[in-house]
Amino acid sequence: MTQANSNELHHALTSAEIELPADQVELLDQYCQLLWLWNEKLNLTRHTDYEKFVTRDVIDVLQIADLLKQEEEVLDVGSGGGVPGIILAIVRPDLQISLCDSMAKKAKVLNAIIDDLNLPIPVYHGRAEDIITEFRFDALVTRAVGPLWKILFWFKDDWHSIGRLLAIKGPKWIEERAAARERGLLKSLELRCIATYPMPGTESESVILQIQRRPTK
């Protein structure tokens, strides 16, 4: 990490009123550099400057980090370039984070980035609905992997083994919830909006939805 890079990331974090330990800032910057380098070969992210990285990626992850309990086992569904999973592992080292992606190329890149960062994060190449039949997680987290109805459809037969799913969504989440209801995918589930926060630079809001199986009476 160069001093110039460090200053740019620190400035972006300060502008967003985010304070993190120096070692976490250093890891985040290393992650950015690796991600952006790989992004030249494989489309992994549209956030290729520090301001967008902080105001889109870091803010989303910090919001979801506040909702996870100590030492939870968490699976990042459709990790792509590693958001939220890798950032979550950096800012919440107590968590046991795993990543998964159905695209072999992306899974390979994730492994390369994690190795370079020396983070203890397993990466699974495959569909999350198959992975959770073999491994148990306290929580699943998702961002930008598809509309809500599609996510719920993936897991429609697996809620007995899912603690809860936390989905980062934008302002269209209400329409997505309606589409999921029309398809009958929320009948046995409890959906709650458990966090709402402004999307910097816009007049819109982001939300975090919690979905889990409705308790039996």
How far is it, in rounded angstroms, from Cα 122 to Cα 119? 9
pLDDT at 77 over 60: yes
CA distance 168 to 66: 13
Tokens of 157: 């037969």
Share of the chain above pLDDT 70, in %: 97
The answer to whether the beta carbons of residues 76 and 14 sit under 8 Å apart is no
Packed helices 104-117 and 22-39: angle between N→C axes, nearest 10 degrees:
150
Cα separation, 76 vs 80, in Å, equals: 9
Both tokens assigned to 79:
């990790």
Q: What pLDDT score does 217 carry? A: 63
Residue 61, C-beta contacts closer than 8 angstroms, at least 6 positions apart = 83, 84, 87, 88, 91
pTM of the entire predicted model: 0.93
pLDDT at 109: 95
Beta pairing class for 189-198 and 205-213: antiparallel
Average pLDDT (183-198) is 96
pLDDT at 215: 82
pLDDT tens digits, residue range 133-162? 999 999 999 998 999 999 999 999 999 889
Number of domains the chain is built from: 1
4, pLDDT greater than 50: no
Assign residue 209 the CATH number of its domain.
Answer: 3.40.50.150
Cβ-based neighbour number of residue 46 at 10 Å: 10
Q: What is the model's pLDDT at position 203? A: 82
Q: So what's the pLDDT on residue 212?
A: 96
For the cut 80, the answer to whether the pLDDT of residue 89 exceeds it is yes
Domain that holds residue 132: 3-213
Q: What are the residues facing 212 on neighbouring strands?
A: 190
Nearest to 140 by CA among 61, 74, 211: 74
pLDDT tier, 125 (very low <50, low <70, confident <90, very high otherwise): very high
pLDDT attached to residue 1: 42
Q: How far apart are CA 186 and CA 180, in angstroms?
A: 7
